[in-house]
Each structure stands twice: as C-alpha cells, then as structure tokens.
Structure 1
Amino acid sequence: MKNLNLILAWMCLLFIATACNDVEPSISSLPVPTSKPYSINKEGYAYFRIPTMVITNSGTILAFAEGRRNGPEDEGDIDIVLKRSTDKGKTWGPLITVKDDAENRCRNQVPVYLADINRVILLSCWNPGATGTNSIFMTYSDDEGLTWAKEKDITASVTPDKYRWYATGPCHGIVKQFEPHKGRIVVSCNHNTTTSGAGRSHVIYSDDRGETWHLGGIMDMDYTNESTVTELSNGDLMLNMRKQSDTEKYRVVSTSADGGLTWSPCKYTTLKEPICQGSILFYGLGEDGKGILLFSNPDSQTNRNNNTLKMSEDDGVTWKKQYSYTGSDYGGYSDIARYPDGMIGVLYEYGFKNIGGIAFQNVELSQLQ
C-alpha cells in the first residue's frame, strides 16, 4: 500500500510538471498583459510584428500591426492589419485588413489621430515582396477604423530620386498643439541613398490635414534609423532615434524650432537601447509648465527585453521615473498612447525574440517611480 501511495504521488507530480509546460510563464510579480490582440499562427498569419496605435476621443483603441503571412522575415507577403477595442483592451473586435497587395510587402504603418475632427490618418510603405522601389501611401478613416478611404500615393512629394530604402515610423505620428505651425502633422521616417549605405532619419509633414505632404529636415548623423517624434512645451519638436551601431548603444535626439524643416546637431542621450525601435509621447504639461514626456523601448544594450516606460518631467532633459512592464524575459517594438482620462495604453511585441505575438497593457502614471 505504501508503494502504491508513492507511485500515485509521483504520477501526480509528473502530471503537474507536464501541465505547467502548456502554461505561458508569468514574469515575476509584474502585471500580466491586459490582453493579446495578436497571436502567432492565427487568423491566416504566421507572425504579427511592428505594433503601432492611437486612442480616439471616445477611448477606442486602434491597434495596428504587420501581419506576416509566412514567417518572421521582414521581406515577403506582409499586410497591414488592425484590431479595435472599446473597453480599454479587455476585448478586441475582428481583424480588419487595411492594406493587402497579394504577395507584396505592405509595412511600417504610422497612424496619426486628428482629434478635432475624429479622423485617423494612416501612412505606410510598399515594395515588392523581396526587394525593390519603395512607395509611400496615405489613407484615412472617419469612423474610428471601421472603414478606410481609397489610398493616395504621396511618394513623389516626400521621396527624392536619390532615396532607395525608405521607412515611415514605425510608431504613431503627431499633430502639433503649439505654435509655430500649430496643427501641422509630423511623421518620423528614415532612408538611405543606396541599398546598403548609411541611412539617416528625417521627417515629413502636412499643413492641410494630410491632403498634401512635404519632405522635412534630414538628420546630420549617419546610421540614425527608425525614429519617433514628439512636441515639447515650447513648440519645438524632438526626434528620438534608433542608432544602427554596435558600439554606441544609446538613443540619439535632435530638436527643431521651425516645425521640422531644420534640426539641431544630433546628440546621444542616456536612454539605453539594444538597436531597436522606440516610441515617445507628449503626455501633457506639468505644474511648472514643462512638458511631461513618456518613452518606451527595451531598457537594455544587449537584448530586446525589459521593455520599460520612462517619464521625463522636463521636456526630455532627464528621465527619473520608470516602470518595467515586461521584465527580463521578453520585449521588442512598442507604441504608446494616452486615454482621455489620463491612463496610458502600451502595445508591444510579446515573447522571446519577438515570437509571442503582440500584447496590450494599461499603465497608470503613478506606476512610474
């Protein structure tokens, strides 16, 4: 009888251990994601990557992603897809395909929210499935992402002939709230002039709600790459950039006092990075009138893990408060947005080496310490 009890106990432990293999591991005591709008090998796609987002006046979340049909590669059959949530990310509506061009590559979607008219503008890039010439397109939605207008090709107005590789974002774009050029739409981009040459970040802009687009200033530092733009309390713009370098693994910034036409010399910050995308957001003005900024990226110089939300209360001069929302086991690309009530939404790549899909999490400003 004693031996039987030991056998039963051993079988019970084996069952528990086996069952645990089917459970997604939690990350220490950190909050689990509010939800996972995109999971791998679902809805006709092998992978989902490159999360971007906006939140509307009604609190509706528009969570965009690249739907990669056949695998994680940056080339191939890639579509731009969207999911919507009206309950702060608890549940998500059906997948909406915003752009699908057979086996070609639709990528680098950048949503911009025009709050005064409740319009979402979406810029994106296109090229043949493997390689080839880049084209830049714009569309918009006036019903919070349910339907989209016919696309407009804006390539000629934002791409000089010498450009080869071209990428918008990938993260949200902005509408300037302050003078100069109040109301200007600004979108961060990057390019290179040969297929293998050193690239640089730049911006494009529109002064007529997206009807026409123009090329803005170009950074003065080689190997500046994917970028994210925000406005400061004095109306200046700040471009925060990924640096494509194996040695200087810190974010690079530049500022513009004329709405993005000219930019200050690029300089390194104290924000660490492992060569990865990041997202910056103007949250609002503090009691002293200075800008409160939020920044999200992997807080590491070695791996895409430990995604962290950081806060600056002095227009990006210092970053004294932070909140790690993934822990050390995973992380990747991300985007951030503010709800009308002040809560923050974070959309991010979830999983080891970005293979866990895309997750969403709500964060209160008080969690950054």
Structure 2
Amino acid sequence: MGSGLNLVRSRSPVPTTVMIMKISRWAMALFFVAAVEADGRIKACEEAPPPNSAISSPIQEQQAVNRSSTVVFEAGVDGYPHIRIPSILALENGDLLAFAEARQGGDHARNDIVLKRSFDRGRTWAPLQLIDDQGGDSLNDPLPVEVRFGPHAGRGYMTYMSFPEGCHTDCVEAGYGHRSSRNWLVWSDDRGATWTKPMEVTRTFRKEATNYAGSPGVGIQLERGPHRGRLVFPQRQGPIDAMKAYAVYSDDGGDTWHRGEPAANPPGPATADEISMLELEDGSILLNCRAHNGGPKRRLRSRSTDGGASFERLEVDDGLISPHCMGSIVMHQATDRDFEASRILYCGPWREEGRSEGAFVTSGDGGRTWGPPTMLVPGGFAYSQMVVLEPGGEIGLFYEADGYRTMRFLRFDPGTVKAGDRVK
C-alpha cells in the first residue's frame, strides 16, 4: 500500500475548557431526558424512570467523580448541526486522537469523518480536521488503531463505512454494487497530522452476502502469545435484524487484512451490535458488545483463543446493565505488566431505560464477574469510549452528553475514586 498523504483541513479554534457545575439540572432527584428522533431533532422532554433498583449493587445515589471535563466537539460548531459517535485513540507518545461523525442530521445525513487532537492529555484540543467527505453519501463508525511495534510501527489506521445517499442499515443492499455499503481504510504516519486518501477494503471486510459491516470503537494490537503483533478491528455485519460480531485482522502491520468468522448469537432474540474488544493476560480476546433486536438490557460477551479468527458463541453478561447503547471495556492493569492484580474496566449508561448515569465497574477475573458501579456522569450519558492514559493510573473517557449537543472528555483514576465524590 502506498502512502499518498494528503493534508486534512482545519476548521475551528481550540475549544475552551469547561467545568461541570457541582449541582446541575441532571443531578436532581428527578431526571429529565430529551428523546432524540433518528434525524437528530429533539422531542419534548419527558420524565425519566427512576434509577434501576433490581441490581444487587446499585450506584450510590447521584454521586460522581471529582473531575473536570473538556468539550471536544459541539453541535452547531464547525459547520455541522450535529456531532455523534465517539472514538478515541491514545498514541504511544501520549497524544490523543478523538474521532467523530459530523452530521447534517441523523444516522445517514451526509455524515463526514472528523478528528481533533490533544497534546496535553485532553486538557485542550487542536482545530477540527476533516478526514473524509463523500458528498451525499454518509460516513459512519470511525474505528482507529495504532501500530505500537512490528511493521509500520508508529502508524495509525482508521476504518469506517459509507452508505449511499438516502439509505442506511435498513435499506442498503447486499453485495458490492452501487446501492451497497462500503468499507474504507486510511492511515497516518505523523500521529494524525495528515492522512492518506481513502482505500476501499469492502471485499475484505465483509462477505458479499451481507449488506454492511463496521463498528464504532477502537481496534487493538495483540501483545502476547502466538499472534503477538496482530492488529484487530472489531466488526459487526448486517442485516440489521440478524447482526453478528467478528474481527478483521492483519499480521503484517496493516499491509494485508483477513476476515474472521462471526460469533454465533445467544439463544433468544438478542443479536450483536457495537463491539468493544481487549486482550486478556493469556493472549485471548474478550469481546463485549451491545445487545440488539429486543434482547436483554445487559451486555453480551464472547472470547477468541485464536487471535480473532473465530469467537465462542455470545452469551449474556448478567453483571453489566445496559439500555441498548454503545459502551467500552479496557485492560487497566495486568499481572504480567508488573501489577499485583489485573483490572478490567467497563463503562456505559448504568440503567435499563434511557441513556443516562454514566458509570464504571471493574473486574479482577477477566470479565467473568463485576464489582459495584461508581457513577462518573450523573444525568445524560449516551455513547462513550474509554482509553488508558496510564496503565494502573488515569483513564480517559470520551462521551456524548447534554442531549447529544456535546462530546466531552473526562479524566479519572479508578484506583482513587471514592464514593461521595462529585463532578464540579
């Protein structure tokens, strides 16, 4: 693959750092959430149901981490009326790359893929960069990964999918024709300053019999076992009512890619949706994903022991509550990296109905069981993605807030968070 670097375009000044108010409208005894239509319009506000009380370890009521957040993207700024779908990558040198869909309306409204970079651990953000704009077609689900070692070390890849104008997951055709979805790959060799022209990788990333493939989130590079060095992108394939999770992977630093076999869905109506993956200490891959198609208000999980070439059948993770929303898992610390205990984190909305109450939970046994939740963001909290800023230390959280009007970045240390801390 050639380089073909072309400069991205900058649009806006660095946004101002803001602090969340100590007592906000989200932190009242009654929560009010704004329902959002598929095209991005806000419906009338309605009273949200009370916090779920069926979980054995409920959140300490309306408590939050004593941390500040920064606004990374804001609707109505940079020429885009809507901004959604967070994806964030922490580079080896400490830079942060925050990707999003810049939208004219809903999920399929001529979306562009955009980026902002931070050079100070998320305190400030550089001007917006336009990665790809395909006119009337909609670009969706940015998914980056960094090559930390091996061929092309230091390179960052980002994949995403496109839909023909006026069509999305429920009407796009199977096959590789004009009315089908397409998959794209770009890369950067200068820490996100410039990116290549898009390369189409549709025939590698999805089967002809499916009508779309992709997932928001981040990819991983395996560090252990026989597949050390492998780059892995989580994917889910259509159709919309029968989605399945799988991986696309590369063993040569991204020069060539291979499509793995999908995991079977669990018994019942639930199917796989937006996927998060991490590498466990034994070199296997833990898959954690949103349940779709009327499944339980819990996350689904699976495992791969062959580097993502195949996955075990998905099962319901009863320890992770979710209102059918994107969430993420990360390996915070591992025993084979000089820590006394392993710690995996999951973060997402911690309620069965409504996207609110952003909380994290931890697991010390490879994601089999989870501890009690700790609230980070009371009130509105939708799609989110975590990133490890320091193993065993700070975590970065990139999330949708304020009724989808902003995308914010929050830093916190899971080892020092205490019940009763509040967001300022």
Query: TM-score scaled by structure 2?
Result: 0.76
Q: For the aligned residues, what is the CA RMSD?
A: 2.0
Tell me the residue number matched to 1:364. 413
State the distance in 2 between where 1:313 and 1:49 align. Answer: 32
Aligned to 1:114: 147
Counterpart selection for 2:292 from 244, 254, 259: 244
Name 2:191's counterpart in structure 1: 144
Asked if the contact 2:113/2:142 (under 8 Å) is kept, the reply is yes
Q: Deviations along 1:117-146, whole A, 9 cap, x unmatched?
A: 222110111121222311111111121111
Residue 54 (1) aligns with residue 98 (2): no
Cα 1:46–1:99 shift into 2, 3 Å: same
Find out whether 1:275 has 2:324 as its counterpart. Answer: yes
Equivalent residue for 1:230, pick from 278, 283, 292: 278
Partner of 1:300: 351
Q: 2:219 aligns with which of 163, 173, 176?
A: 173
Within the candidate set 242, 252, 257, 1:213 is matched to: 257
Match of 1:339 in 2: 389
1:24 to 1:144, Cα distance in 2 relative to 1, 3 A: farther
Distance 1:340 1:290 in 2: 16
How far did residue 113 of structure 1 move?
A: 1.5
- The 2-side partners of 1:248 and 1:326 are apart by 23
TM-aligned CA deviation for residue 247 of structure 1: 4.8
Contact 2:75 2:83 in 1 (8 A): yes
* Matched residue SS, 2:346: strand
AA aligned opposite 2:198: E
Instruction: Find 2:80's aligned residue among 45, 59, 62.
Output: 45
Deviates more, 1:179-188 or 1:115-124: 115-124
Measured after TM superposition, the shift of residue 284 of structure 1 is 2.6
Q: CA offset at residue 32 of structure 1?
A: 5.8
Question: Partner letter of residue 134 of structure 1?
Answer: S
SS of corresponding position for 2:195: coil
Q: Of 352, 364, 380, which aligns to 1:330?
A: 380
How many positions carry a matched residue from both structures? 339
Match of 1:12 in 2: none
Aligned residues of 2:112 and 2:134 also touching (Cα < 8 A) = yes
Contact 1:57 1:340 in 2 (8 A): no
Q: Secondary structure at the match of 2:196?
A: coil
8 Å contact from structure 1 (residues 79, 100) kept in 2: yes
For the 8 Å contact 1:321–1:368, the answer to whether it is kept is no
Alpha-carbon distance between aligned partners in 2 of 1:158 and 1:85, rounded to the nearest angstrom: 30
Q: Which of the pair has more CA radius of gyration?
A: 1
CA distance in 1, matches of 2:408, 2:219: 21
Q: Identify the structure with the greater helix proportion.
A: 1
Shift of 1:309: 2.0
**CA positional deviation for 1:322:** 3.8
SS at 1:326's partner residue?
strand
Q: Deviations over 1:52-79 (max 9, x none)?
A: 00111221111111100x22x1012100
Q: In 1, are the aligned partners of 2:246 and 2:310 still within 8 Å (CA)? A: no
Q: Distance in 2 between matches of 1:315 and 1:142?
A: 33
Q: Flag the 1:368–1:260 CA change in 2: closer, same or farther, 3 A.
A: farther
Q: Distance in 2 between matches of 1:255 and 1:356?
A: 35
Question: Relative to 1, partners in 2 of residues 1:96 and 1:178: Cα closer, same or farther, differing over 3 Å?
Answer: same
Q: Contact (CA 8 Å) 2:246, 2:311: kept in 1 or not? A: no
* C-alpha separation in 1, matches of 2:353 and 2:87: 24
Alignment-derived partner of residue 45 in structure 2: none
TM-score, structure 1 normalization: 0.87
Name the structure 2 match of 1:187: 233
Q: Which residue in the other structure is 1:11 paired with?
A: none
Is 1:128 equivalent to 2:168 in the alignment? no
Q: Measure, in 1, the Cα distance between the counterparts of 2:369 and 2:350.
A: 15
**Aligned-partner Cα distance in 2 for 1:207–1:216:** 13
Instruction: Find the counterpart in structure 1 of residue 69 from structure 2.
Output: 34
Are the aligned partners of 2:333 and 2:339 in contact in 1 as well (CA < 8 Å)? no
Please give the secondary structure, in 1, of the residue aligned with 2:203. Answer: helix
Equivalent position to 1:161, from 201, 208, 212: 208
**Contact 2:188-2:194 within 8 A present in 1 as well:** yes
Post-superposition offset of 1:25: 4.5
**Fraction of identical pairs, as percent:** 28
Pick one of 46, 53, 66 that aligns with 2:101.
66
Query: Do 1:323 and 1:367's aligned partners in 2 also have CA atoms closer than 8 Å?
Result: no
Alignment gaps of 5+ in structure 2: 1-22, 28-61, 168-178, 419-424
Distance change >3 Å, CA 119–CA 217, structure 1 → 2 = same
Question: Residue 310 of structure 1 corresponds to which residue in structure 2?
Answer: 361
User: Which of 1 and 2 has higher RCO (CA within 8 Å, sep 6+)?
Assistant: 2
Q: CA deviation at 1:198?
A: 1.6
1:152, 1:136 → 2: CA distance?
8
Which of the numbers 204, 219, 240 marks the counterpart of 2:248? 204
3-state DSSP of counterpart to 2:159: strand
Contact 1:338 1:344 in 2 (8 A): yes
Report Cα offsets for 1:175-208 as digits up to 9, x if no partner.
001113111111111112x4x5421111111111
Q: What amino acid is aligned across from residue 214 of structure 1 in structure 2?
A: H
Partners of 2:158 and 2:341 in 1: CA distance: 30
State the shift of 1:241 in Å. 1.2
For the 8 Å contact 1:81–1:95, the answer to whether it is kept is yes
Aligned mates of 2:246, 2:63 — CA distance in 1:
40
Q: Distance in 2 between matches of 1:282 and 1:144?
A: 23
The range that moved more, 315-324 or 284-293, is 284-293
CA contact (8 A) 2:236 2:246 kept: yes
